Amino acid sequence: MHQAKLTLDPAFKVAPVHRRTFGTFVEHLGRCVYTGIHEPGHPTADEDGFRRDVLDLTRELGVSTVRYPGGNFVSGYRWEDGVGPVSERPRRLDLAWHSTETNEVGVDEFVRWCRRAGVEPMMAVNLGTRGIAEALDLLEYCNHPSGTALSDRRIANGTKEPHGIKMWCLGNELDGPWQTGHKTAREYGRLAAETARAMRMVDPGLELVACGSSSSSMPTFGAWEAEVLEETYELVDHISCHAYYQEKDGDLGSFLACSTDMDYFIASVVATADHVGARLKSRKKINISFDEWNVWYQSRFHDTGVPEDWPVAPPLLEDQYHLADAVAFGGLLISLLRNSDRVTAASLAQLVNVIAPIMTEPGGRAWRQTTFHPFAQASRYAAGDVLRVEPVAPAYETKVYGEVPLMDAVATHDGKGTTLFAVNRSIDAPMSLEIDARALGGVRIVEATTLTDADVYARNTADDPGRIAPRPNPDVEHDPARVLLPPVSWNVIRLG
């Protein structure tokens, strides 16, 4: 058995908890939209064809924002195709995922879905095959009240009130050669700057996100951020980060420590942004929108590739997550919260079916993947201020990241209580965690749950959807506060 201890103190404040940390992502990719959130004829479908079972799970997940419509898809998307009478909407080839897009769901349907789910829409504009004029047209259609051609078109299409979308992404992953309309940093930076400038002429209060690197392993990483921000620094609020992780070659130890890389990614982008700000003699700080993150077994996708025959909503990227994935995923959530002083928004990619916490059967059931639970618990219980904790715990050697602590943790605190989120990365031994909470006053552990299983590769399925779920932790002591964390586990400990 391993031993660890940590101290909780409300003076160790990092930043407020940002609700936008708990955002997700809906892209026209695979079955995320069609037979995911939208399936007319499904037994639970509402009058607009949205699956109520998926809406219920989205609310339970605790989603705050949803990024739309992509992703790689947006770089070839014509938003006009997705408005007006559905029967008159054109079918188009989607180059990103080699599929046929029917445009049955577009911006108006998506925003209606957001309202029903109780989430904030976050819109991306196409800066791959399109540019400033089309971004302005979409902004006018969505947000202008009335009295112009495009706002009146929205009203004629059945939406009287403006959508009021405040957060906009200026393109997607344009550093990547796979992206339709791939650009150099300078090319993209100039286009993003002029698009941002024009959009702010319509609404100075918009929140704008410039494209950062599509991963920290890109050969242009760092230089891309610097060049893009040199052009856009005073015009945008955020720069994006994207990162995906998977277990490779049976190296479970490194995989469970992947949040180490996320911490490095965030620190590197912050340092680059602040360097540009200093050179520009600006007092402004650029924050991070970590608007794609997840566990994604990209090697499986590269093995199978995209379909050859341009199907409609083919099954793509439907990773089935196991317990170890959920624990690594929980570590990524801890990293996002720990860096809340600069990470002020994030989007789990994606929401349904496509590397997603929610899975569906066409015409049938919906269920929670293992990764659903850490996200739902963090969204439910993280409130008030993020507190930095410095666990004292044994370390272990990983092939990828070197020496890494066996435990990682972060806490949040408000007037109602304190919640500690912790992962035990040990593959073969529990961790006895002692919690020094004296600075919180006379508090005690009121609830402790753990997500674990004897089989670290156990999964949830439609037939056994509750195999991996948070369960009460029976190994709790109160004086001093102590909790036994099982091996390979995600843990939530609430004090009050």
In DSSP terms, 386 is beta-bridged to 15, 412
Active site residue 292: yes
Strands (E) across 331-424 are located at 343-349, 358-360, 366-368, 385-387, 395-398, 402-405, 407-414, 417-424
CA 493 to chain centre: 23
Q: What is the DSSP string of 238-283?
A: EEEEEEEE---TT-HHHHHTTHHHHHHHHHHHHHHHHHHHHHTT--
Q: What whole-number distance in Å separates Cα of residue 418 and Cα of residue 425? A: 23
Q: What whole-number distance in Å separates Cα of residue 38 and Cα of residue 74? A: 19
Q: How large is the greatest C-alpha to C-alpha distance in the chain, in angstroms?
A: 69
* Burial class for 363, CB neighbours closer than 10 Å (0-12, 13-18, 19+): exposed
Angle at 59 between CA 53 and CA 64, to 5 degrees: 140
* Burial class for 178, CB neighbours closer than 10 Å (0-12, 13-18, 19+): exposed
Active-site residue identified among 109, 173, 225, 231? 173
Cis? peptide before 219, omega within 30° of 0: no
Amino acid at 375: F
| DSSP assigned state of 91 | P
Buried b (16+ CB within 10 A) or exposed e, 3-37: ebebbbbeebebbebbbbbbbbbbbbbbbbbbbbb
Cβ–Cβ contacts within 10 Å for residue 415, how many? 6
**Of 365, 238, 223, 370, the residue nearest 291 (C-alpha):** 238
CA 41 to chain centre: 29
Compute the Cα dihedral for 212, 216, 217, 223 and give only its sign. positive
Active-site residue identified among 120, 207, 227, 292? 292
Amino acid at 282: S
The answer to whether 412 and 382 have CB atoms below 8 angstroms apart is: yes
Q: What whole-number distance in Å separates Cα of residue 478 and Cα of residue 446? A: 10
Compute the Cα dihedral for 149, 155, 158, 163 and give only its sign. positive
**Of 418, 329, 414, the residue nearest 24 (C-alpha):** 329
Active site residue 109: no
Active site residues: 173, 292
